[in-house]
Amino acid sequence: MSSIPKRLSGRLLNSFKSEKKIRQSFRLITGRSPINLALYKQAMRHSSVSSVNEQGIKNSYERLEYLGDAILGMIIAEYLYRAYPFKEEGFLTEIRAKIVNRESLNRLGQKIGLKELVKYNTSSRAHRSVYGDCMEALIGAVYLDHGFPYCKQFVIKKLIKPHYDLDELISKTTNFKSRLLEWSQKENKDLRFEIISEEDRKFTAQVFLNNDAMEKGYGFSKKKAEQDAARKTYEKLKIEE
């Protein structure tokens, strides 16, 4: 039998070393070695550098981001619910928003080392949110690879507790309506809030941007409903601080 050509052998060795290094990187970040490494690679791949698979779907982080976003929101919601048993819904919603907003997740993604793993086209606008997006995609990958109990442990023990000071977050009040108004003025966009319904003393507010209906918010006062609508719109638009 003929031996493997030296050039091919060298490529295989380099590929093996690269795979081993990537696997070690994710083990350090998540606390557990990947079983399905392909999931983690996909979580770090932006659509600007992805290929299209046989089903016509881009092999990028977007589907994993969708999954991770939902899982992250649920884990943090439960964590805050248990941590603050006597706080009202509005308080819990605001603290959760401070943790999962795009700017916060972008910083977190870079702090835990995703900057060395994420792949994207530097000429695209992806850099504005890519680390936060990949952070959520990574959570989706961990969930699929290791199941929900470990994913929950990863989020709380590796992400929330080491990187967020909840007391500090609580001390910083967030006025999303003011932020949204400032942004709209800077971008020369027409912004208005409308109370569109009131039922059983609960108000529903809606944001309109250039006459386009945006997000709805709810609360037991007009002010809280508008703040809720402003927060949801602020997050949907992924406005940078």
Question: Which DSSP letter does residue 119 get?
Answer: B
Asked if residues 101 and 179 have their Cβ atoms less than 8 Å apart, the reply is: no
Neighbouring residues of 134: CB distance < 8 A, sequence distance ≥ 6 = 43, 44, 46, 61, 65, 109, 114, 117, 118
Q: Maximum CA pair distance of the chain?
A: 83
Q: Strand 202-209's sheet: what is its strand order?
A: 191-199, 202-209, 212-219
Query: What positions carry a catalytic annotation?
Result: 69, 136
Rounded Cα distance, 142 and 198, in Å: 42
Residue spans of alpha helices (H) in the chain: 6-30, 37-43, 62-83, 89-100, 102-111, 130-146, 148-153, 161-163, 166-171, 176-186, 222-236
Asked if residues 164 and 112 have their Cβ atoms less than 8 Å apart, the reply is: no
Output the CA angle 29-125-76, nearest 5 degrees. 40
Closest by Cα among 231, 222, 234, 220 to 196: 222
**Sign of the alpha-carbon dihedral angle for 97, 103, 108, 109:** positive
